[in-house]
Chain A
């Protein structure tokens, strides 16, 4: 497996594990109080940024023909 693909897998793991857990913990439907300051939208934004990274890395991997 090429280095770009390794990195893409690693970033995907971050989305699947760490960000999923952060989303669960900051689920605003089950919270009242100061945690409302944690925006779900911001977490989705992080997820989207990482997903873009994965797309670029996969495209780079495919174009390099490895």
Chain B
């Protein structure tokens, strides 16, 4: 079993001891240079010993000063103590996962709660272990786990790369084989609570993934994995109703965030817009299918599944093609008499895309404004920018896709 990384207090003590030993031998070297002790062999041996201790101390201090540990931040000592204690607990209590099923606060609950609220410390705790399962299944209170993962992947404080490293490990751990439970026969209490925890973890995945869902599809290259793998996991996550809802609600802000900062180079900019449009198409299609698969579930929740919040006041010049609700009303008229879930989910998907196209338009407009390609909010954009804006909208909400959806529905209802 892989263990958590080292305890920095012990490492700091080691550095101090190496320094003291080096100081002592340096003093002995000075003593060896006086009177009848002035022997070349002694001098040479002591100098070599000093040199070896010096290189070891350098290496220890390099670790202490690395991003892995930061002793100038006294709080990180607390964090690392948590990591160390967590490691020891998991090592000495092979049934740690079973503890979490017995309705009481576990040692892991207490240790994780200490760092869960801080994005920096939560992230460091996750990064410092290659055995992730205790940080997912070790708590009796899933809210602690939720807080830990949301802190460590918050897009306001986490870079794209770091979030990718953490989230890809999380989904692989959740959907991979859980070998750590082999050899321990669970009781029925364990199994029951484990199933509940599993459901809660799947819901939590939706919240964690929501702001980063574009990196599962069109922007998969930013996380160094393929869109096929990303979509595979996103689909699995969206199987949980609450997770699908969280993903749906997070799509608008994910879209806005990723489109607001576009490259200066025009072809790179268009490439990014294309990739994001692909991601939006994948997310909305996947959520539509998720909704269809969930027809057997509680129908009260379905009405909120594909709802996204309005993000910003719409005070921008709109292209004529962007008429929100146009496609929706057309489909409503066509299928008004067939209230099947397949039809309603298709209608909502079109409405969803229409709204997302508005958000994308705002984001690209904002990016052009920030980069100086548009001078004033009320100015008419240059032809190039207008074309870019129109391109963005058309990629996300276009007549071809609308026609295809309608044709599919017509086939099913004929």
Contacts from A to B (Cβ < 8 Å): 3-4, 7, 10-11, 14, 18-19, 21-22, 25-26, 31-35, 37-39, 42-43, 45-46, 49-50, 52-53, 56-57, 60, 64
On chain A, the residues within 8 Å of B59 by CB distance are 37-38
Q: How many A-B residue pairs have CB under 8 A?
A: 93
Task: Give bound CA distance, A32 to B128, whole Å.
Answer: 11
Contact indicator A7/B6 (Cβ below 8 Å): no
Task: Give bound CA distance, A32 to B25, whole Å.
Answer: 29
B292 on the interface (CB 8 Å rule)?
A: no
B213-248 interface (Cβ within 8 A of A): none
**Quick one: closest B residue to A19, CB to CB?**
B21
Q: Which of A14, A37, A56 contacts B24 (CB 8 A)?
A: A14
B110 on the interface (CB 8 Å rule)?
A: no
B36 on the interface (CB 8 Å rule)?
A: yes
Q: Is the interface of A mostly helix, strand, loop or mixed?
A: helix
As a 0/1 sequence over residues 13 to 42 of chain B, the CB contacts with chain A under 8 angstroms (1 = contact) are: 110011011001100100110011101011
B160 on the interface (CB 8 Å rule)?
A: no
Contact indicator B42/A46 (Cβ below 8 Å): no
B89 on the interface (CB 8 Å rule)?
A: no
B179-220 interface (Cβ within 8 A of A): none
Q: A38-B59, A49-B45 are in contact. Are A14 and B28 (CB under 8 A)?
A: yes
Contact indicator A18/B24 (Cβ below 8 Å): yes
Contact indicator B52/A46 (Cβ below 8 Å): yes
B5 on the interface (CB 8 Å rule)?
A: yes
On chain A, the residues within 8 Å of B55 by CB distance are 42
**Quick one: closest B residue to A15, CB to CB?**
B21
B contact residues, total (Cβ < 8 Å): 38
B1-19 interface (Cβ within 8 A of A): 2-6, 10-11, 13-14, 17-18
B307 on the interface (CB 8 Å rule)?
A: no
Task: Give bound CA distance, A43 to B55, whole Å.
Answer: 11
Task: Give bound CA distance, A9 to B17, whole Å.
Answer: 19
Contact indicator B11/A7 (Cβ below 8 Å): no
On chain B, the residues within 8 Å of A4 by CB distance are 36-37
On chain A, the residues within 8 Å of B5 by CB distance are 32-34
Contact indicator B52/A45 (Cβ below 8 Å): yes
Q: A14-B25, A32-B5 are in contact. Are A25 and B17 (CB under 8 A)?
A: yes
On chain B, the residues within 8 Å of A42 by CB distance are 52, 55-56
B48 on the interface (CB 8 Å rule)?
A: yes
On chain B, the residues within 8 Å of A10 by CB distance are 28, 31
Task: Give bound CA distance, A46 to B51, whole Å.
Answer: 9
Contact indicator A31/B42 (Cβ below 8 Å): no
As a 0/1 sequence over residues 256 to 267 of chain B, the CB contacts with chain A under 8 angstroms (1 = contact) are: 000000000000
Task: Give bound CA distance, A39 to B2, whole Å.
Answer: 21
Contact indicator A50/B39 (Cβ below 8 Å): no
B52-101 interface (Cβ within 8 A of A): 52-53, 55-56, 59-60, 63, 66, 68
B2 to chain A, nearest CB (A): 8
B374 on the interface (CB 8 Å rule)?
A: no
Contact indicator B21/A38 (Cβ below 8 Å): no
On chain B, the residues within 8 Å of A33 by CB distance are 5-6, 128
Q: A11-B28, A34-B68 are in contact. Are A46 and B45 (CB under 8 A)?
A: no
